[in-house]
Amino acid sequence: MEISALTRSVVKRNHAIISPDGYINSRVPGWENCTVNVIINEQMGANLCQTLITMTEKGELTGTTQLSQLFFYVIQGQVSATVDGETRKLSQGQFVYIPIEKSYRFEHPETSTQLLSFHKVYEKLNGYDVPPVLFGDAATIEGPTYLGDPALRLQVLLPDTLSFDMAVNIFTYDPGGHLPFVETHIMEHGLIYLQGQGVYMLDQEWYPIKKGDSIWMAPYCQQWFTAMGKEPAVYIYYKNVNRFPTVV
């Protein structure tokens, strides 16, 4: 018998694991006929927001970005997305980046379409334009090996230019593959597992992780991961990048 008083979720000062067993739904104005789980946001101490949206067949998301840019990725299903007047059908693995001050509308989903969103307040950079709307497909993006290890592959979904102040990458680890060292860095992460399982080390604590789990890592949260099981472990993650690191 399962004991309902147990969970793998933890929320700490500089990291969190949110497994789906603890979800409580939010109602978000403009996002109708869908279930919204706000997984990471500033209430935790984070500088990003990450949500998971599960749409019924009447589901619709409408809005206009303001100070924050938005990134949507289709985890499963299919939906029509109109951003700044351009309409595309998005299916599993496809995504759209919405810069500040643009209108968007997602409609006509297949039932149970699941979308991931990352939100970040956009920091303009003198001499660089605000990025344009960008539609993309992870299936067409190469995944070169990470730091020379063939067990690790990294796909970079957004262009590597200084206009962008956020990166979204997909990291694939073959079983037994692991980060080559413990990362200790200023950048923050939000992520969700798309496949597989493994063990994450966050600030010297060890956590079993699997498909559907999300993680928040604050700046300087120490991090290391190894994949276990019989299939690759895959997560999609956010990272803040490309801006001056200090006000001092």
Q: Which is nearer to Mn ion, 89 or 185 (CB)?
A: 185
Q: Which is nearer to ligand UGY, 32 or 183 (CB)?
A: 183
Rounded distance between C-alpha atoms, residue 151 and residue 39, angstroms: 29
Q: How far is the CB of 127 from ligand UGY (least distance, A)?
A: 25
The one-character DSSP state at 162 is T
Q: How far is the CB of 154 from ligand UGY (least distance, A)?
A: 8
Q: How far is the CB of 225 from ligand UGY (least distance, A)?
A: 6
Three-class secondary structure of residue 20 per DSSP:
helix
Interface of this chain with Mn ion, residues 202 to 241, rule: CB under 5 A: none
Selected binder of Mn ion within 20, 183, 210, 222 (CB under 5 A): 183
Q: Which is nearer to ligand UGY, 55 or 209 (CB)?
A: 209
Token pair, residue 122, equals 């956009």
**Interface contacts to ligand UGY, rule CB under 6 A:** 171, 183, 189, 223, 237, 239
Residue listed under structure tokens 């739904």: 25
Rounded distance between C-alpha atoms, residue 177 and residue 71, angstroms: 28
Three-class secondary structure of residue 245 per DSSP:
coil
Nearest to 14 by CA among 47, 55, 56, 53: 47
Q: Which is nearer to ligand UGY, 87 or 184 (CB)?
A: 184
Q: Which is nearer to ligand UGY, 104 or 171 (CB)?
A: 171
Q: How far is the CB of 147 from ligand UGY (least distance, A)?
A: 9
Q: Which does 72 bind (CB under 5 to 8 A by kind): Mn ion, ligand UGY, none?
A: none
Contacts of 33 (CB under 8 A, 6+ apart): 55, 56, 58, 59, 60
Per CB under 5 A, does 174 bind Mn ion? no
Strands in 205-210's sheet, in edge-to-edge order, are 205-210, 197-202, 223-228
Please give the residue ranges that form the binding site for Mn ion (CB under 5 A): 183
